[in-house]
């Protein structure tokens, strides 16, 4: 029921934030939630709805926070489906804090689980694929050679042709493992981060003709 409603928000969504991302986050969130003793129904519903405002945010070039907007939209969806107020509040908190921006930090274990699951999908082999997919969507080159310089001010390059996958790694992705909030999430992150580090090291060697 919730999944059917959630899918409506992903028609023509970009490949890096389509419904397959939602499905992967749901799977990860349930895995982490089980390990952390979270309410799995709250976790699953929050995962299904966490990015329902993402497509609109991307269409506007990052003009608003999809987490904050999505929490409000989720309240409307869940209210229409007849969920009680307490459950809706718990899910909305998870969605509203899954970016951990503007002082909105995850407080419940369910919110921490969703935060970690969402971040984990941006690293490892899937994360590499998504980074290149996003860069291609905004018209970026394979690499610019200026990533080290641009990484000092990554916000300046979001949603522009200078936002290469290599820049995304240097400015954001290699730090994800240090931001996670649950033990289970950090354990998964270690392996994914190691793979990603090895990939970009090899990428640099091939760019330089050393391999």
pLDDT digits (tens, 9 = 90+) for 95-154: 999 986 666 789 999 999 999 999 999 999 999 999 999 888 888 889 888 888 787 777
Contacts of 190 (CB under 8 A, 6+ apart): 177
Cα 104 versus chain centre, distance: 16
CATH class of domain segment(s) 1-114: mainly alpha
* 140-to-13, 99, 131, 196 alpha-carbon distances in Å: 19, 24, 11, 20
At 47-64, the pLDDT tens digits run: 999 988 876 666 666 666
At 23-38, the pLDDT tens digits run: 999 999 999 999 999 9
Distance from C-alpha of 46 to C-alpha of 98, rounded to nearest angstrom: 10
What is the reported pLDDT for 59?
Answer: 67
* CATH code for residues 122-211: 1.20.58.1910
Q: Is 0.85 topped by the overall pTM?
A: yes
What is the reported pLDDT for 87?
Answer: 97
Considering the chain, tell me which residue range(s) the CATH 1.10.3210.10 domain(s) occupy.
1-114
Considering the chain, tell me which residue range(s) the CATH 1.20.58.1910 domain(s) occupy.
122-211
* Residue closest to 169 by CA, chosen among 142, 188, 187: 142
């Amino acid at each position: 029921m919730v999944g059917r409603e959630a899918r409506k928000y992903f028609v023509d969504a970009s490949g890096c934030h389509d419904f397959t991302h939602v499905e992967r986050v749901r799977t990860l969130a349930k895995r982490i939630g089980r390990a952390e003793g979270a309410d799995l129904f709250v976790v699953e519903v929050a995962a299904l709805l966490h990015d329902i405002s993402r497509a609109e945010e991307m269409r506007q070039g990052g003009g608003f926070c999809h987490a904050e907007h999505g929490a409000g939209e989720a309240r409307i969806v869940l209210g229409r489906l007849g969920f009680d107020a307490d459950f809706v509040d718990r899910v909305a908190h998870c969605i509203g804090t899954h970016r951990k921006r503007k002082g909105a930090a995850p407080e419940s274990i369910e919110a921490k689980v969703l935060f970690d699951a969402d971040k984990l999908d941006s690293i490892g082999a899937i994360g590499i694929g998504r980074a290149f997919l996003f860069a291609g969507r905004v018209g970026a080159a394979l690499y610019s050679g200026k990533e080290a310089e641009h990484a000092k001010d990554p916000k300046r390059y979001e949603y522009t042709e200078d936002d290469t996958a290599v820049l995304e790694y240097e400015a954001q992705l290699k730090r994800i493992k240090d931001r996670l909030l649950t033990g289970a999430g950090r354990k998964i992150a270690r392996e994914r981060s190691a793979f990603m580090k090895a990939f970009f090291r090899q990428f640099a060697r091939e760019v330089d003709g050393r391999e």
